[in-house]
Structure 1
Amino acid sequence: MMIRSSVQALLLGVSPAVLIWATPAVAQTEAAPPAETTEAEPAPQEETGEDIVVVGTAGGGTRRQDASFAVTTLSADTIARAAPNSTADLLRTVPGVMAESSGGQNGANIFVRGYPSGGDAQFVTFQVAGVPIFPPPTLSFLENSQLIRLDETVQRVEAVRGGTGSLFSNGQPGLTVNVVQRTGGSALHGLAKVSYTDYDEVRGDAWISGPLGEDTSFMIGGFYAQGNGIRDPQFRGEKGGQITANIHHDFDTRGTVDIYVRYLNDRGQWLLPIPVIQNGRSVSAYPGFDAGTGALPGRETRITTNNAGRTLDLAEGRGADVINAGLAFEYELVDGLRLRERLSYLGGNADTVGLVPTDPPRSAADMAVTLGGAGATVGSLTYANGGGAVSGGASAQVMRAGIWEVRKKIDSFVNDLGLEFTSGNNKLTGGFYYAAYNTRDRWALGNQVLLAAEPNARVLNLTLGDGRIATRDGFTSGAGFLVDAFYEGQDYAFYAVDELQITPELRIDGGIRWQKHIVDAAIRTPSGTINQDGDPTTLYDNATNVFGERRFVDYSEDEWSWTAGANYDFTSQIGVFLRYSRGNSFPQFDNLREGLFITAQVDTYEGGLKLSLPYANLYATVFHNKFEGLATTQLIDNTPVSAIGGAKATGVELEGQIRPFRGFSVSAAGTYLDATYEDFFSGGGTIDNTGNRVQRQPKWAWRVTPAYELDVGGFTPSIFATLQYTGDRFSDPENNQLLPRFYQLDAGVSVDINERLKLQVTGNNLTDELGLTEGNPRIIGSQGSGPILARPILGRSFRFSAAYSF
């Protein structure tokens, strides 16, 4: 209700401004027709400094070569060659970013420039048309990349790291990713594409665009896909699609308006750690599990009924069913004065149902002690769904996994209104940002089942030697952690940025932002446990969590952010920049639920070199970040445990491309990162991690992509490959869970049969490398050696596609 009333009030204020300027512009019939867009043409192979980027600017955009901050642009052609498995997977191509997409299409972990985080994407904001998709960058079980898919309607993606990001949008000081949609032109164009993978996923993409009038055009398109996924759970684990439509109108030369709507209904398997064998740097597959394709869920775990009587289907997986609509309006009111208005609404559901491993494989005898206490023995071990006794009895390898249910109903409204005044060599921009958002959360974590330690695991029942019953239909416990909460958040911000071109070569800029963050919440979490049936011999329900009294959160805080930078162009092709920025990250709903009211503060110093030549491009950035007031939570034994403190990071980011002769190019990107904790305490304040490396971010990471395109008898084949290196990391802040370095090789071939038909095949992880991206995040400290829980990268796979354009 709060969001609806806010939407109505703001639309009433915004609509007249839009209509006043739109009406006379539409009436102009003698204006020259706008230049036709080239959305049907493939993006050029070369990267140039002429690329116009909008993200990180006050609104009008700037040449990448002129940007005084670190920004990466990814064209549709670059995206196609990267063949990302998910939206987050594309960010592997951005230096300074560590994206873990081993969790599937959803639930990615994304880390930026040494910003400490335990998972999800706390310092990453995705936006469409310059407006955040959902203002909180991360909530537990929900990060921004979960709310949008990459498809053929995307023209390009822009990503700014640090720099001016703390002034614009939602004030994200980490990484802001802007997804730019295709728009129509004066001619009818379109594309239809079908793709198929060797793991039986079928996907169809299509879009069409064209004119609706002399100055108005449209675009509509999307995708639909279904399959079991690389890690086959023996049921349809991946299913859904997205449709996007927009209308673009040019007001002669005075401005533009874009109206868009996007509907996403897509879900995928939530891929979690599986058993592997690790001894130091040596990692191998656990017997019976293929590290690249093995899946713990199967037919027997798909549908279960827990101790609370809830029947859950793992095929629901993790995804989103949301609608996102918005408007981007820009108009020059008078010479030198330009109005910009951007607004967005998102609403729907983002649910998660997953099978979450608790501990690595062990013998049934050890499990009997874990469940029954010292001295407990195995009485009987049987298959819960028929099949009799389990072979091996007390020596059989078993494990536990929780069937977690997280329901989220989310809504958000965002409005960003700005005025730009240009006089001579000076450009002053001021604006107002407002966001209202809420989420209705219902969680039931825990609900552990006993499984055979095998792919597509069978469910087991265990009775102890003294007659106590450890399981019911495989369940060893009820709910371990419960949440019933309703959160409402609002953000108000004013910002002002001034750019002054002192000489043709030197430009300086500076800006400030004041933001107020308000959260009201009503929350219930567990207050204790009960024995559900009152029988102490039925162990499976003897310690089931129950809700406590409802409590309330009333939070309000405000902070200032600022930045100052300078850009100097030695020539139109060679330039350098320097920048300092102060940014803030306010506590979001989950931190406030756990009583963490700290606002993280980030100071960033950076400088860079930009080189754009006909045969080469190079962008090099050196940065130093200092963090204070970081706060995260980690679920240990189904109990939230806090980690609080600071960190520092120094790094170098390189990206570029050389084109020694026509048709051949080598693109590369690399990052060196020295990031360590300072006065950072985990384990609820009991473990000092000062001096330890920031978790899950390597010191060295790089990728090299050679590509060669040639003409052969009327055909135009293109061959490309990417070799990626990820250095040693630690999965935990205590630096006890080593994730060894690994390489990944991807490659592909595309062939333009003619101007309309294009065929392509891409292969991911061609060497079937076993690389770990996560250990066991549900424990503190070492897992020891031998069988452990970890999440490897996805195994070797191939995708074949055929596209027809007109």
Structure 2
Amino acid sequence: MKTFTMSSWVCASALLAAAPMNALAQDIQSSGLSMEEVITIGTAKPKQKIESTNATTTFNSESMERLAPMSVGELVRSIPGLHAEDTGGETGNNIAPRGFPLTTQMEFTALHKNGMAVFYDQDILFTQADRFTRVSSFIGNVEAIRGGASSVYAGSAPAGYINFISREGSDEVEGDITLETNSNNRLGFKGWVSGPINDQTTYAIGGWWRQDDSGRDPGYVANQGGEIDANVKYEFRDGSGFTKFEYNAQNDKSFFFIPQPLTGSTKNPKTIPGGMDIRDGTTGNSVHARTLNLNNTPSGDINLDVTDGNFADVMYFGNTTEWDFGNDWTVKNQFRYTDLYATFTGIINVGNASLLSGRAQDIFDNNSAALAGAMVGSDLTYQIREAGSGIALADNTNVDSWNTNGMGIDAGFWHRRFDGDNFQNDLRFQNAFNDSLYTTFGLFFSNLNGHVTDYRINTLQSIERLPQRLDIVYMDGAGNDIASGTYNGIQAGSHGFANATFTERTFAPYVDFEYEVGDLTLNFGARYEKLEATGDVENGADYAISSFASDTDAVNGNIELPFGTGSFRSFDLEYSEFAWTAAANYKVSDTVAVFGRYAKGFRMPDVDKYMQISGLKAESDPTRDPDACSIQDFRSSNCPLTEPTSTVMAELGVKYSDGGISAFVTAYFAAADDLSFNVPTVVNGVITNRDAFRSTETLGLEMELAANIIGGWHVGVSATYQDPEFVDTPAAEFIDGSGNVGSVDINGKIPVRVPEHFGQLTTRYDFEETPWGYASINASYTWSGRRYADDANTAELPGYGMLNLGASLETDSGFYIRGDVKNLNNSEGLSEGDPRAGETVAGQTATFNARVLLPRTFSLSVGKRF
């Protein structure tokens, strides 16, 4: 006799997500790793975690409240195998899974909201998924798998995916309203309410809004905006299924922190005297550095403002319908339409801090004829002025001591604008044969239209606590201006432009089979994905500033900036990839299970690869670099720039849960081929960024441990140890301090910014009931081990740790108060070396750039549950 239908399993898991504060959730939480929890991710049949063939981590609302993550990256810190650099702010963080180095931000890991990505291409540069998939109190449950069946259920996400499950209504009205503040002048609100509409229909609606100055106050409101989430669910009268409609709207901006200039060494970083403080400094936050305006350019007027930061205006709606139509067959269809407008505006250092006097000399040397009058005797005569206002700040007699350090830096004013829409549909037919063979036959379709525009303009900034954009103006012996070496702070050097419109159509049939024989579960899954990408990329050209601006002179007017020519190159690409996986789980007893899995996956190319067609030349063009792709190779999908990355993963794990102790330990092997990196390379004696293709292999061990020590005292560990290395990779070239070209074999070296070990230790104590209610205290210590900022492993980023504390008190009537302290020890650990400055062999220089942990932050929230 059948115990559960497919619909019953799904309904059970939905109830689990919707009622995290009830007794069921409290029982699950008390079991540590929740091995008895029913999970729905990456499986043809929802089942208890101890029976799953996937390496799975779950969070309910209680555990998320204690972690109090300010970003998806911070939440990911609790998942073994996934290393997060969570210092970018509330959005824009990096997730590196199982030893894979990143070329963008989270290219091997997908974020889903209720079983589907908000936007199917989840890792367009500076438009990645954590900007649209946010942590909030409306999320009732989170399920994450590493490797496993990810390549079957999520396209281009071979290393895993994380599903954020929204709350749903029940037959009782429930809710939670919270007001919050913190030491960064935060003013915030979040809340949700759910309940019945009638006997068959329920609703849930939630949202949040906040504004604050962020952990590194830029001098203006850094984070501001919010989100509305809602769903309505109708259960069919005959109990055969349901239909659910969802809606989400987000309008938000968040500050994006980038590597800041420091001195000392990566092992002992220090604030540059007079510069932005290592603990709370930012880049590009003064009034005259925040905005950049250029009118009448070949691409129109350009008006950029760093205060926009990571801006997103997103709306999506969709429907999920499931129907059990008899004979153990269930059909489930989910669709989602997303309309998205997102911009990134930030100042990103593209070089290291150096003396302004040296920069003035370099500009003079390159324009000696036009600036001959500035050489008065043996002295080069010039002033350093604030761009925009023209106020003189220093001159050649005192520049080296100005602002203590006398330094400036190449600061790239980067802006990306993405405007697009996406329709997705996932159709599944599921069957349970004799309660032993569970099958899923699925067909996924996505149509994505996008328009990407990039401006990257190299400016000169000061090294101050509130940096400002600078001009270098040359003068004659009488003090008259001759010419400026910069234009409104814009200097000659590395600039960029891109403009592309494109359409991606994805077709992906997939299957998943689970066969249960007693305590043994066997799994096989496969996915065939076809990507058709078409579009147009505008050709670019360099234009002298004097060609569109009238206030130039003989020097700054010759600075060239790239813009569109009005002509376009089209592309029509097609890719087909096949992923498959096989696994087994054996439940040795009610408390012990073992599992193993092998998976072959892929990552498709994206629009940043398509846009490179504008710089490619024909095979017959004598000026084409013979090592570079031709247009013909690109259009025939034979160009390495656009080849999919292939991955392999193998896993072997054991699960244990008995009484107050539970453990989940997984050993893994992960390999990736044809990873595309834009790296510094020597070309004709000059360092030039070029595409290079590399492969990596990693052996690792992940573990989650949880224990009830005594009474209300609980502890947990999430930890990873791995041995990542480059393999089958060509030697990397570099230029040493004497200008000599050399090469280094990087095979066996640790990929950039990938640690050998990282993890999180958590503990909490739940007190006995008091007259005031229920009290709890908790703490977590998060660490990352040694990493390197360069491929040759010469610039070490030392390990660091960060301590967080929290405490809460809740009354029987549902009123509560909670306090948290993030980075109590005020750690100054470097989460990221600078991926844009330095050479393949970085070594150590007098100054460098790195992203530093966010400083200590105190927060307080009060609320009411009902």
TM-score (norm 2): 0.85
> What is the identity, as a one-letter code, of the residue corresponding to 1:575?
A
* Residues in 2 aligned to 1:438 and 1:627: alpha-carbon distance in whole angstroms: 29
Cα 1:36–1:554 change in 2 (3 A) is closer
* Residues in 2 aligned to 1:706 and 1:488: alpha-carbon distance in whole angstroms: 48
Alignment deviations for residues 503-546 of structure 1 (CA, whole Å, 9 cap, x no partner): x2111111221111111121024344545349773236522223
Cα 1:350–1:675 change in 2 (3 A) is same
Alignment deviations for residues 300-336 of structure 1 (CA, whole Å, 9 cap, x no partner): 2223324745222211111311112122222211031
1:478-497 mapped onto 2 (5 Å cutoff)? 480-497=495-512
Question: 2:19 aligns to what?
Answer: 38
Structure 1 stretch 650-659 or stretch 270-279: which is displaced more? 270-279
Tell me by how many angstroms 1:436 deviates: 1.1
Question: 1:315 aligns to what?
Answer: 307
* Residues in 1 aligned to 2:536 and 2:547: alpha-carbon distance in whole angstroms: 30
Cα 1:552–1:670 change in 2 (3 A) is same
Cα 1:639–1:803 change in 2 (3 A) is farther
Structure 1 stretch 541-550 or stretch 449-458: which is displaced more? 541-550
Q: Name the SS for the 2:589 alignment partner.
A: coil
Question: 1:796 aligns to what?
Answer: 856
Cα 1:273–1:540 change in 2 (3 A) is farther
Structure 1 stretch 464-473 or stretch 195-204: which is displaced more? 464-473
One of 300, 307, 321 as aligned partner of 1:329? 321
1:133-148 mapped onto 2 (5 Å cutoff)? 133-148=118-133
Q: Is 1:355 the counterpart of 2:347 in the alignment?
A: yes
Structure 1 stretch 471-480 or stretch 332-341: which is displaced more? 471-480
Q: Is 1:691 the counterpart of 2:770 in the alignment?
A: no
2:669–2:698 Cα contact (<8 Å) kept: yes
> What is the identity, as a one-letter code, of the residue corresponding to 2:785?
G
> What is the identity, as a one-letter code, of the residue corresponding to 2:571?
V
* Residues in 1 aligned to 2:687 and 2:537: alpha-carbon distance in whole angstroms: 17
Alignment deviations for residues 387-412 of structure 1 (CA, whole Å, 9 cap, x no partner): 53338324422223122221100211
Structure 1 stretch 391-400 or stretch 601-610: which is displaced more? 391-400
Unaligned runs of 5+ in 1: 1-21, 23-33
* Residues in 2 aligned to 1:515 and 1:475: alpha-carbon distance in whole angstroms: 45
Identity of aligned residues (%): 24
Q: Is 1:216 the counterpart of 2:201 in the alignment?
A: yes
Q: Name the SS for the 2:19 alignment partner.
A: coil
* Residues in 1 aligned to 2:804 and 2:701: alpha-carbon distance in whole angstroms: 25
1:476–1:540 Cα contact (<8 Å) kept: no
* Residues in 1 aligned to 2:728 and 2:363: alpha-carbon distance in whole angstroms: 37
> What is the identity, as a one-letter code, of the residue corresponding to 2:574?
S
Alignment deviations for residues 448-481 of structure 1 (CA, whole Å, 9 cap, x no partner): 3322211221332212367441123323259811
* Residues in 2 aligned to 1:453 and 1:61: alpha-carbon distance in whole angstroms: 56
1:185–1:210 Cα contact (<8 Å) kept: yes
Cα 1:657–1:775 change in 2 (3 A) is same
Tell me by how many angstroms 1:687 deviates: 7.0
Question: 2:382 aligns to what?
Answer: 379
Structure 1 stretch 491-500 or stretch 587-596: which is displaced more? 587-596
2:113–2:133 Cα contact (<8 Å) kept: no
Tell me by how many angstroms 1:383 deviates: 2.8
Question: 2:834 aligns to what?
Answer: 776
Q: Is 1:393 the counterpart of 2:399 in the alignment?
A: yes
2:725–2:748 Cα contact (<8 Å) kept: yes
Tell me by how many angstroms 1:681 deviates: 4.8
> What is the identity, as a one-letter code, of the residue corresponding to 1:509?
N
* Residues in 2 aligned to 1:545 and 1:564: alpha-carbon distance in whole angstroms: 50
Question: 2:776 aligns to what?
Answer: 718
Cα 1:355–1:638 change in 2 (3 A) is farther
> What is the identity, as a one-letter code, of the residue corresponding to 1:269?
F
* Residues in 1 aligned to 2:356 and 2:751: alpha-carbon distance in whole angstroms: 36
Note the aligned Cα RMSD (angstroms).
Answer: 2.5
Cα 1:724–1:372 change in 2 (3 A) is same
* Residues in 1 aligned to 2:487 and 2:280: alpha-carbon distance in whole angstroms: 30
Cα 1:409–1:506 change in 2 (3 A) is same
TM-score (norm 1): 0.91
Question: 1:30 aligns to what?
Answer: none
1:478–1:544 Cα contact (<8 Å) kept: no
1:6-405 mapped onto 2 (5 Å cutoff)? 38=19, 41=22, 43-44=25-26, 45-46=29-30, 47=32, 48-58=34-44, 60-251=45-236, 252-279=238-265, 281-288=267-274, 289-296=276-283, 297-306=285-294, 308=297, 309-373=301-365, 377=380, 379-384=382-387, 385=389, 387-390=391-394, 392-395=398-401, 396-405=406-415
Question: 2:560 aligns to what?
Answer: 543
* Residues in 1 aligned to 2:258 and 2:223: alpha-carbon distance in whole angstroms: 15
Q: Is 1:731 the counterpart of 2:789 in the alignment?
A: yes
One of 798, 814, 822 as aligned partner of 1:740? 798
1:259–1:328 Cα contact (<8 Å) kept: yes
Q: Name the SS for the 1:485 alignment partner.
A: strand
Tell me by how many angstroms 1:362 deviates: 1.9
> What is the identity, as a one-letter code, of the residue corresponding to 2:459?
V
> What is the identity, as a one-letter code, of the residue corresponding to 1:304?
L
Cα 1:589–1:36 change in 2 (3 A) is closer
Alignment deviations for residues 412-435 of structure 1 (CA, whole Å, 9 cap, x no partner): 111111111211111122111111
Question: 2:638 aligns to what?
Answer: none
Question: 2:809 aligns to what?
Answer: 751
2:148–2:160 Cα contact (<8 Å) kept: no
Alignment deviations for residues 678-714 of structure 1 (CA, whole Å, 9 cap, x no partner): 1235879987532221221100112111100102334
Cα 1:141–1:330 change in 2 (3 A) is same
> What is the identity, as a one-letter code, of the residue corresponding to 2:382?
G
Cα 1:222–1:173 change in 2 (3 A) is same
Q: Name the SS for the 1:532 alignment partner.
A: helix
1:643–1:682 Cα contact (<8 Å) kept: no
Tell me by how many angstroms 1:795 deviates: 0.6
* Residues in 2 aligned to 1:727 and 1:402: alpha-carbon distance in whole angstroms: 30
Alignment deviations for residues 747-788 of structure 1 (CA, whole Å, 9 cap, x no partner): 111111333111111111111111111122113331623321
Q: Is 1:631 the counterpart of 2:676 in the alignment?
A: yes
Q: How many residues align?
A: 771
1:545-560 mapped onto 2 (5 Å cutoff)? 545-548=562-565, 549-560=567-578
Unaligned runs of 5+ in 2: 1-6, 8-14, 369-374, 477-481, 613-633, 635-640, 735-742
Tell me by how many angstroms 1:187 deviates: 0.9
1:501-520 mapped onto 2 (5 Å cutoff)? 501-502=516-517, 504-520=518-534
* Residues in 1 aligned to 2:545 and 2:732: alpha-carbon distance in whole angstroms: 28
1:405-420 mapped onto 2 (5 Å cutoff)? 405-420=415-430
> What is the identity, as a one-letter code, of the residue corresponding to 1:418?
R
1:671-682 mapped onto 2 (5 Å cutoff)? 671-681=720-730
Question: 2:438 aligns to what?
Answer: 427
Question: 1:9 aligns to what?
Answer: none
Question: 2:845 aligns to what?
Answer: 785
2:680–2:688 Cα contact (<8 Å) kept: yes
Question: 1:28 aligns to what?
Answer: none
1:130–1:178 Cα contact (<8 Å) kept: yes
2:597–2:651 Cα contact (<8 Å) kept: yes
> What is the identity, as a one-letter code, of the residue corresponding to 1:458?
Q
1:578–1:607 Cα contact (<8 Å) kept: yes
Cα 1:738–1:539 change in 2 (3 A) is farther
Q: Name the SS for the 1:695 alignment partner.
A: coil
> What is the identity, as a one-letter code, of the residue corresponding to 1:346?
T
Cα 1:126–1:348 change in 2 (3 A) is same
Q: Is 1:471 the counterpart of 2:508 in the alignment?
A: no
2:498–2:611 Cα contact (<8 Å) kept: no
Alignment deviations for residues 146-193 of structure 1 (CA, whole Å, 9 cap, x no partner): 112211100011111111111113252112110100001101111110
* Residues in 2 aligned to 1:51 and 1:731: alpha-carbon distance in whole angstroms: 40
